[in-house]
Amino acid sequence: MAQPKPAKVPSASGCIVEGCRRVHLALGLCDFHRNAFLRAKTAGLTVSTPTEWISVTEPVLLNREKRCSAGCGHDATSSEGLCSKHTRLYLSWASRQPAVSRSLVEDWVAREYEPEIIIDGIPTTYATRVAVPFALLPEPVRSELLYAVQARDLAGISRFDPLPLRMVYLDLRRRGVTSAVGLTSLGQSKGHKQLRFLREDLQRRIDQAHRDWSGLDPRDDRVLYFADLALRESQQSFGHNAKIDLRGISQSWLAQSVAAWARHGGPHNVPTLYSAQHAWSLIDEILTLRGTPPTALGVADMDAVIKAVRERWPRQHPQAKVIRMISQVIAFGRRDASVSRFWKDVPAQFAVEEARHAAAGKRSRSAANVDEPFRYTPAPIIDWIMDHIQLIDRGNPYTTAEARVMIYLQERCGRRTSETVRLKEDCISYDHSGAPYLNWTQAKPPWQPGPRLPIHQETHDMIREWQQIKADHGVVSQWLFPTFKGTRDHHRADAFLNHRLRDFLRLLAAQAPFTSPVEGAEGNLVYFDLTQIDPYSFRHSFAQRLADAVDENGISTTPPDVLRELMGHKTHGTTMAYYEVTAKRRKKAMASLPARRLDINGTVVPFNREREGFGKIALTVGTCTEPQNVAANGHFCSVDYACEACPFFLVDPLERDAMEAKRLHLKVKYERARAIQTRQHVLDYLLKRIDDCSSLIGAIDSYIASLQPAERQKIEEALAAMADIRARASLPRRIDLRGILQEGVSGAGQ
């Protein structure tokens, strides 16, 4: 990048003294005659030019043609066989060496001298161009250094200063290093921070390549570096020297088992690896104090281990993680071929029993809520928050849009916080009909792509708009929400979404507080605290929406097994908690009303709720009391499931909206049948069924109208609440991202 300085080269014509065969150095003279000319002037000879000096004197001729051993082309003027310039450099270098002898000249040439190079026809030096002549290094350090530099380039390290690299090269060459394998910082600890970092990085790459090539690892196998382990994709970046040290485990069979589990039992996360180091150091201590040999380990030893774990980790959540990790290591050790020889004689009683060794510590604050198995957030609260998402303003269009989109996706898609921030740029796919789906990766075992999640078209459009905003700002990344810290292409941290939501809720509480009571999980009215909302609340709300959603016939569109798969729940009980809320809500609404059923004629049929299951079959809408169908468990319907026309069909007034949905479904079927010009008797059949649904709806309305005002108000409120919940469950939502950019442009223009 700098203009090279031309080097002085020997003249092709040689010395101007006739008969002198030595090369030109300066003033047209060789080195010997130049010194003679200068001495003559000093002695008082009145000559001003070399030509005058030659004319008045008779210069002595030295016709030897020995050139400098350094290869510069000048005459060798010293006993070392070097020119005057290189003699001075050599003597300065030799004075710093332990011994000075003629044999050191070859060492100096090999370690210090660099030949001149020609660039664009101009002779120059490597030092002038801050260049590294790798070929002057001996093998194999030549190839090692070149490989490490190329590996840095392939790793995408954009900031590269040639000066520190040249300093590394000069140091290696001057010290006579022949191989950098196994050194520490290339054998040199001095230098400024940038130079030390470069040495450490080059050393690491050289050592790693040598280990991969040779298959040999001279490092202690009980020291495990994170860079060599299979870690989850979701892990944050860590230093190259980050490691767990198992050398504190005195019993080698335990240390080797933990090391094998860490290397081949993954992928793990960093906290789990640290927990393994501390937990198995504790286990080693307990077993050593008890003095039990491996062949005699049993339940009592595991009890002692779990007791020590409970004392070391008093809280329930970390305690459960450590106990689960201990169980995983033991199970891995018994089945893995590399360490199974240590475990084949260990009794099977030395194991973690789920009931006996369950975590028994203090529950964390987040798990202390015993009212519900999850933090239930009423739908009106979520709607209120999302209706005011336009209040978010982070100072510029890009960061404002980013915060809105992250919160929007968290609410619309219901993923875990870590799953939302780790969405890839190509997170949208389509089925054969063009319907959009969200592709996501599970943030819990087995950490694999989750099932494709159907999304609304509005959600799809919002993601595409956000991707366009990123493109307009020149942001290129594999992540949907990339960070700009460091040189790595990385996604936003989980805490980033937490902070954005917390800032938004503070703003919402100040500008648009929610003051009305809402219906809680038990159907009771509560005043909800907005400060209790976190990103996980949106996940619970999403699952609750799916559990509440019904189709046009009032049938649930999300069976429990489907919801469990979409949410990535480990247990069925976690999923069923959302359906329990729906059941509690319905039970609360019905408990305030008298138990009633209406038949096809609109006659009110009282019944006992506790005995409703006897002699009846629950249908998607209403119940069937026809004896033969009841006896056949619903598989012998005399009217081919046209329930609204059957005298044994009973419907609850609270199911009015479901009857309306069924009537609408029949009307759609009628219009489709008429469009394909089907037979008239089929059309008449559908019309009669529609009329029967209308009769039942009319009977329900008449019954409600005949109630006392207080009772009628209760049932109307219950009907409105149930209909609102069902309708809200499947509604899409849209936010305006393009408006942010337009506001930013107009603000800049003003």
Please write the tens of the pLDDT for every residue from 529-551.
787 788 988 998 888 888 877 66
What integer pLDDT is reported at residue 525 of this predicted model? 66
Distance CA 269, CA 387 (A): 37
Query: Is the confidence at residue 42, as pLDDT, over 60?
Result: yes
At residue 566, does pLDDT exceed 90?
no
Residue of 677 and 366 predicted with greater confidence: 677
Residue 194 to residue 216: CA distance in whole angstroms: 30
| Residue from 639, 689, 700 nearest 662 by CA | 689
Torsion of CA 498, 499, 500, 506, to 10 degrees: 110
Contact 304, 288 (CB under 8 A): no
Class of domain 379-578: mainly alpha
Q: What is the pLDDT of residues 585-601, one digit of tens each?
A: 555 555 555 556 777 77
Task: For 643-662, write each residue's pLDDT tens digit.
Answer: 888 888 888 777 787 788 88
Amino acid at 436: P
* Rg over CA atoms, the chain: 42
pLDDT of residue 281: 93
Confidence check: pLDDT of 130 > 80: yes
631/254: higher pLDDT: 254
Q: What angle do CA 294, 296, 299 make, to 5 degrees?
A: 105
Mean pLDDT for 191-205 is: 88
Report the candidate in 619, 599, 623 with the shortest Cα–Cα distance to residue 609.
Answer: 623
Is the pLDDT score of 427 beyond 90? yes
pLDDT value of residue 141: 95
Residue 272 DSSP one-character state: H
pLDDT of residue 268: 83
For residue 616, pLDDT beyond 70: no
Q: Residue 304's closest CA among 318, 283, 325, 323?
A: 283
What is the H or E stretch that residue 239 is in?
A: none
Q: Report the SS3 class of residue 518.
A: strand
Q: What is the pLDDT of residue 733?
A: 74
Q: At what angle do helices 680-705 and 709-729 cross, to 10 degrees?
A: 130
Q: How far is CA 589 from CA 325, 519, 522, 593, 710, in A?
A: 46, 11, 10, 7, 14
Predicted confidence at residue 148, as pLDDT, reads: 93
More confident residue, 575 or 364: 575
Among the ranges given (85-94, 353-362, 612-621, 645-654), the one the predictor scored with the smallest mean pLDDT: 612-621
**Lowest-confidence region among 68-72, 166-170, 441-445, 521-525:** 521-525
